[in-house]
Amino acid sequence: MIAITLPDGSVKHFDAGVTPMDVAKSISEGFARNVISASFNDVTVETTTPLTEDGSLVLYTWNNEEGKKAFWHSSAHILAQALEQLYPGIKLTIGPAIENGFYYDVDFGDKTISEKDLKEIEDRMLEIARGKHEFSIRESSKADALDYYKKQGNEYKVELIENLEDGTITFCDHDTFTDLCRGGHIPNTGIVKAVKLMSIAGAYWRGDEKNKQLTRIYGISFPKQKDLTEYLELLEQAKQRDHRKLGKELELFTFSQKVGQGLPLWLPKGAALRERLENFLKKAQKKAGYEMVVTPHIGQKELYVTSGHYAKYGADSFQPIHTPSEGEEFLLKPMNCPHHCEIYNSKPWSYKDLPKRFAEFGTVYRYEQSGELHGLTRVRGFTQDDAHIFCTPDQLDDEFKKVIDLVLYVFGSLGFENFYTQVSLRDPDKPEKYIGSLENWEKAEKAIINAAEAKGLDYKIEYGEAAFYGPKLDFMVKDALGRSWQLGTIQVDYNLPERFELEYKGSDNDTHRPVMIHRAPFGSMERFVAILLEHTGGNFPLWLMPEQVSILSLSEKYEKYSQKVLNLLENDEIRALVDNRNETIGKKIREAEMNKIPYMLIVGEQEEKDGTVSVRKHGEGDLGTMTPKAFSELIQQAIKEESKEFNV
């Protein structure tokens, strides 16, 4: 008998050779029908894998990330089989599951494939799926595996196998199809009920542009047709909310090939929106005891050698700037923290002076590959809402919690209510990725976990996601479409204070090292605005809108009264404009709606006579008539309710 421990801690005993599916059936037949994948002692296994020793078993359904991964990986096998049937002689390479779906990279040789062929491939995939063919894993010797693919003339699989150790090689079989595979599949093809092939792209073998370019086919699949329909509807919504589309329509930002890829240009409305966001955070930061600083856009290479940034990022960043002085090199600033360390180092400090909180909206530059650039979410020049807190070890816990409060205030003020936190720790198996002593890392990691627990945060631990100089607490926000984004981050750092030899005089009159906290509630202004755009669909909170009110004049005759209303609103610091174009009122309303303007005031003969305005609200319609003063009070109250003060 072997003991199988389930996630709830319960232990069940079975004869050796029991399979995960047998265990699922022992729980309930209904549950077993939904089980599609499993892991045993943290290793992915098939639902038909015989278990021969004591261990911990986790059974996954479609509702688990691991279940989806197995589902989509299995679907990639079905895609590969369909392609082999429709295009004999092709060479398959790799076909993994990805965050949403799967892909397969294929060498089609002299055959061509286009978007119009995808429907036929989908139909063949569903035909295969309906056969309910079981997935099974079998071991193979290295010699047999090499022989199999050499006979096929598939140099890609041969290359993969040559890098594997004998005794670790397995194939996955279903129906008449076989593929080199590590494992992790659903029980049979019949579970796949809906398939959509999304796109075709080029991809270099192993991501190296020196290698041959392959054809990559992206797809997604579901256990129900309804799930696919809902997913496609969500994608359509995402297209409408794409920040690149909305940014252009709302005239917030643009890009120029002459300026350079990944270097956004903020238009007047976008610049004003950024300024409001900055002022919003500056106001809260001032209450929290931060002091604003300003640092240059460049720094001597030695600065980033000292910090460790050059060793980690130098080769992949913008190349050094050489000056007329021989041997003198500067770099575009990739991080603000080394500059802030030098600000701290500009004078001696006592423990009585700490904590010191230096904040800056500092623009940094990183050379992202052109293929990775994407609107405002991935750029080469971006502004971080950066701050660095220098404190004593005894102050660390309290300071970290205060930063959590500030991040939560920012999220609440901007409508990000659905989020969780991720404690990003070092990878214990790859110490070479990090700088600093093990002791300092352990102290920093413990401080973050303690603060997260004290604040009652819903967090999960991710190993290998730490920054190279310290662990961090990342805030993962879900937007209106349910997509997750990493926004705010807080990091504990014992390493940079050592590298920059930062000191303070303690109560014992000896010198000590401060602890450094890095924090950025927005992350970067560019990425934050992009995510906020997609989350709100361009309908920002009223206090943040570039234009809060559009005054729509029925004709030129009422321009003077329209201007009088405008002046009254502007005196109350309400952002408004007058639309007195020679257009129909219907067209003016439609355009104001398209431009996401929250309120429209219609002004005509009756309104001028009565000293009123007719009020419409974006997305809601007519709110009736009222005096301009009453409307001003209404909008000011709405703004007040939205923008709560930060309480320290």
Active site residues: 337, 366, 384, 386, 388, 472, 518
Q: What is the dihedral of CA 615, 619, 621, 625, to 10 degrees?
A: -20
Provide the β-strand partners of residue 525: none
The pair of three-digit structure tokens given for residue 384, joined into one six-digit string: 């971080």
DSSP line for 194-248: EEEEEEEEEEEGGG-TTSPEEEEEEEEEESSHHHHHHHHHHHHHHHHH-HHHHHH
Whether 518 has a binding-site annotation, put simply, is: yes
- Which residue's structure tokens are 């496609």? 232
Chain-centre distance for alpha carbon 217: 23
DSSP line for 371-440: GG-BTTTB-SEEEEEEEEEEE-GGGHHHHHHHHHHHHHHHHHHTT---EEEEEEE--TT-GGG--S-HHH
Provide the b/e sequence for 57-85 (b: ≥16 CB within 10 Å): bbbbbbebebbbbbbbbbbbbbbbbbbbe
User: How big is the chain, counted in residues?
Assistant: 648
DSSP conformational letter for 514:
P
Provide CB contacts within 8 A for 362, sequence distance 6+.
294, 295, 333, 336, 339, 383, 384, 386
Between 525-536 and 225-241, two packed helices, what is the crossing angle to 10 degrees?
A: 120
Q: Parallel, antiparallel, or unpaired for β 613-617 and 621-626?
A: antiparallel
222/228 Cα distance (integer angstroms): 6
Q: For residue 176, give the nearest of 95, 71, 36, 77 by alpha carbon.
A: 77
444/437 Cα distance (integer angstroms): 11
Phi, psi of 47 (to 5 degrees): -70, -10
Region of 596 (left: φ > 0; alpha: ψ -120 to 50; beta: rest) is left
Q: Which residues contribute to the annotated binding site for Zn(2+)?
A: 337, 388, 518
Q: Which residues contribute to the annotated binding site?
A: 337, 388, 518
